[in-house]
Structure 1
Amino acid sequence: MCINSFIDCNGDSSLKRYNSRYKFIDVAKGIGIILVLMGHFFIYRSPVTQVIYSFHMPLFFILSGIFLKGPDVDNEGIRGVGRYVWKKTKRLGLMYVLFFVLSVAAVAVFDRKTYPLKRIIRAFLGERLRTFHVGPIWFLLALYIIVLIYGFLYVCKCSKWNSWVKLILMQVLLFGAYRLPEYMERFGWSFAPLFINVIPMGLFFVLLGICFRKEILEIPSVSIGTRCIITVVAVVLTFVLSFRYLGFMEFMTGGFGDDLFIFMFAAIVGSIAIVFGSSLLANHWPGTALAYVGKHTMVLLGLHRIVSYYCAKIFYAIFKIKIAPAISLPDRYAFLWTIFILLVILGADAFIHWGAAKYKEIIRICVQQ
């Protein structure tokens, strides 16, 4: 285990290539975001969602940690910290704000529903975020806070800690994170601003991704036979754990199950299945399609629920067919609805990019003339 990469990876020359895009990671992100959509469109607490919810959010936190690097304080000092914070704010914080504002505006314009400012602010901070059909963007806010915490640890020179100290810290973080939601409920804290009830557990999985970044990025160099065996075994274990030993979990609310070991085992094994399986698909056509989906993960995460909500309204207005894709679609229809929403969002995104490129080309031609 590369526990020494817990905080400091900037000085390792072998990590310079991490700035390049690894296709199989994009494939893993593509599979992961499709599972997120499926988890929101299939019947809540159905066997399908029980398997998906057992590992899909830990998977994204682990993948987020693989390429996470601390601020460049050695060369830029305090300016490096500022650059780090601004970069993460643009990537995560501002995107969270954008998706939230779009959803509030859509509800006000199309549903003609308005809420008091206090209610909107509390939703922005995490309370009943689903009211505006963008519940999944909790991940962006939680990850934003997590990467800021990581930057703080990096600036505090935690990279100089002994490897065993880091390992012990991760264990303490894990057990504390597992019990935090329970303790909050005991004290009557039904509302946890900024998702502080799940941030410690998310931080653990991000640090796990940092610790194992070398091993994960070297997976494509493992023999195909070994990768096939690991993928099959991991998939089987994920299903067995989900159906026999694990109840329904919901990371967003701090629902990590009744057994910490089973929860961790299921989360890690499910993530292994996706990552190793992605390495097998990366060089084939399905991998290319999934990698394209993976590159648009943030757009799909931020828009799929609200797009689904209004598409369902359009279907009813035109065909008089009621669709409830959030919680109660039968499995076969939920799968088709997942594909439909995926195509709608990706198609709209491609059209916007095409239009922007054409607009820039027209402006360039006009300026030259």
Structure 2
Amino acid sequence: MSATNRIHHIDVLKGIAIFLVVFGHTIRQTESLVFIYSFHMPLFFIISGLFFNEKKFQNFGDVIIKKARTLLLPYVTFYVLGYLYWFFVEKNVRPGLDLPFYNPLVAFLYGSDIGEFKSVNGILWFLPALFAAESILYLLLQLNKRILIIIGLIFSLVVAAVLSYIKTLHLPFCLGASFVAVFFMGVGYYGKGLLTLDLAIKKRIIYFIISMVLFVVTFKVAQYNPGINVKYAGLQNPLLFVVTSFTGSIATMLLAFAVFKMPLLEYFGRNTLYFIGFSEPIKRVVIYLSAKISPLSVEELRSSVPFSLGMVIVCFILMVPVIFIFNKYLFFAVGKRKKKIAV
């Protein structure tokens, strides 16, 4: 399979994954919400693991420097912009957000919400958590023996399960989520063979059928394990969480491979970073305006699958100019070294 083909179906996969994230943060219909949360973050971590290459780094210090540029710098940029939007606009129009100016700054330094201190953008936790996870994974891979690395990955999941049991212990920079991430990134790292699956049309039809079956399995099992919140290592039943993480992630991968090419999804898949930075505030504006112009309340809109899908589509449309501006003019603010316009 050529490198070009590989880009097509992996970008489609990333596009589907970011759609699930935005839809999951929009919908309030219980069964759909439980289904999405049962696997959407492990899917992102597996994708990260597929492309993790420890040989790109000279040493651990090099990992810290490079990952700080590509993950922590965007975290700072997005948070500063989100804070300014919150301070000058949102805190004045949304009930419950009229907090002291320093409140979100504490959450920023902590890497997530902590007690009464609220983040201006709940999705941004993913960036520092991924920074920590990739740093930990690099150290594990230095053990060189696969059996030791696998033990380390399992131990990381056990730590996450313990934190899930404690519930009230929310570590800074969402380190609980980082321990979850390390395990699934390791799965992706050792599952690189997925990148070379046969994409012949007959195989893609089979992938689609298997994908649909696995989605049904994921949906059914997920209903027995509601309340998952990877952000705080809230796994509920860790065994069921692992099951739905694998079935849902594999189903999404096979669906992406079956689709193979879809330019619009590929475009969004190449620009998932900006969705982490801006989809949440844009989504809030879309929901607010939708409730103003429709006879339905916010809760009624968010409890409806069709209305939620419509609002998500609007969010994706509004993301296009954001993506263009950052790729063309503000690439340096998210750690990119040169202008790169995704097409």
**TM-score band w.r.t. shorter chain:** 0.7 to 0.9
* Distance (whole Å) between structure 2 residues aligned to residue 184 and residue 322 of structure 1: 35
Name the residue aligned to 2:149. 166
What 5-or-longer segments of structure 1 have no aligned partner?
1-13, 358-369
Name the residue aligned to 1:5. none
Opposite residue 104 of structure 1, the aligned amino acid is Y
With over 3 angstroms needed to count, the CA separation of the structure-2 counterparts of 1:354 and 1:141, relative to structure 1, is closer
Residue 127 of structure 1: how far off its partner (Å): 4.1
Matches within 5 A, 1:62-73: 62-72=46-56
Do residues 246 (structure 1) and 221 (structure 2) align? Answer: no
Matches within 5 A, 1:25-36: 25-36=10-21
With over 3 angstroms needed to count, the CA separation of the structure-2 counterparts of 1:251 and 1:325, relative to structure 1, is farther
Aligned residue pairs, count: 321
Please, what TM-score do these two structures have when normalized by structure 2?
0.82
* Distance (whole Å) between structure 2 residues aligned to residue 177 and residue 63 of structure 1: 19
With over 3 angstroms needed to count, the CA separation of the structure-2 counterparts of 1:323 and 1:305, relative to structure 1, is farther
SS in 1 for 2:176: coil
Residue 107 of structure 1: how far off its partner (Å): 1.0
Name the residue aligned to 1:278. 256
> Percent identity over the alignment?
23
* Distance (whole Å) between structure 1 residues aligned to residue 3 and residue 172 of structure 2: 34
What 5-or-longer segments of structure 2 have no aligned partner?
93-97, 332-343
Per-residue Cα deviation, 1:70-116 (whole angstroms, up to 9, x for no partner): 1546xxx55xx544333211211111111111111111111355635
* Distance (whole Å) between structure 2 residues aligned to residue 325 and residue 279 of structure 1: 35
* Distance (whole Å) between structure 2 residues aligned to residue 19 and residue 206 of structure 1: 23
Per-residue Cα deviation, 1:180-208 (whole angstroms, up to 9, x for no partner): 232363xxx3x421112221111101111
Per-residue Cα deviation, 1:125-179 (whole angstroms, up to 9, x for no partner): 134279444101111110011112223334xx312x2x33333332232222212
Q: Which range moved further: 49-58 or 114-123?
A: 114-123
SS in 1 for 2:54: coil
SS in 2 for 1:158: coil
Among 40, 43, 56, the alignment partner of 2:40 is 56
* Distance (whole Å) between structure 1 residues aligned to residue 149 and residue 140 of structure 2: 11
Is the 1:58–1:271 contact (alpha carbons within 8 Å) kept by the matching residues of 2?
yes
Name the residue aligned to 2:215. 235
Please, what TM-score do these two structures have when normalized by structure 1?
0.77
With over 3 angstroms needed to count, the CA separation of the structure-2 counterparts of 1:23 and 1:202, relative to structure 1, is same
With over 3 angstroms needed to count, the CA separation of the structure-2 counterparts of 1:140 and 1:109, relative to structure 1, is same
With over 3 angstroms needed to count, the CA separation of the structure-2 counterparts of 1:115 and 1:59, relative to structure 1, is same
Name the residue aligned to 1:333. 307
Opposite residue 250 of structure 1, the aligned amino acid is N
The structure with the largest alpha-carbon Rg is 1
Is the 1:127–1:192 contact (alpha carbons within 8 Å) kept by the matching residues of 2?
no
Is the 1:246–1:262 contact (alpha carbons within 8 Å) kept by the matching residues of 2?
yes
Per-residue Cα deviation, 1:276-302 (whole angstroms, up to 9, x for no partner): 11001113xxx2221111111111122
With over 3 angstroms needed to count, the CA separation of the structure-2 counterparts of 1:198 and 1:103, relative to structure 1, is same
* Distance (whole Å) between structure 2 residues aligned to residue 149 and residue 179 of structure 1: 18
* Distance (whole Å) between structure 1 residues aligned to residue 317 and residue 5 of structure 2: 27
SS in 1 for 2:236: coil
Opposite residue 101 of structure 1, the aligned amino acid is V
Is the 1:28–1:275 contact (alpha carbons within 8 Å) kept by the matching residues of 2?
yes
Name the residue aligned to 1:115. 100
| Backbone CA RMSD of aligned residues | 3.1
Do residues 141 (structure 1) and 128 (structure 2) align? Answer: yes
Residue 266 of structure 1: how far off its partner (Å): 0.6
With over 3 angstroms needed to count, the CA separation of the structure-2 counterparts of 1:345 and 1:224, relative to structure 1, is closer
Matches within 5 A, 1:95-110: 95-110=74-89
Name the residue aligned to 1:37. 22
* Distance (whole Å) between structure 1 residues aligned to residue 189 and residue 309 of structure 2: 33
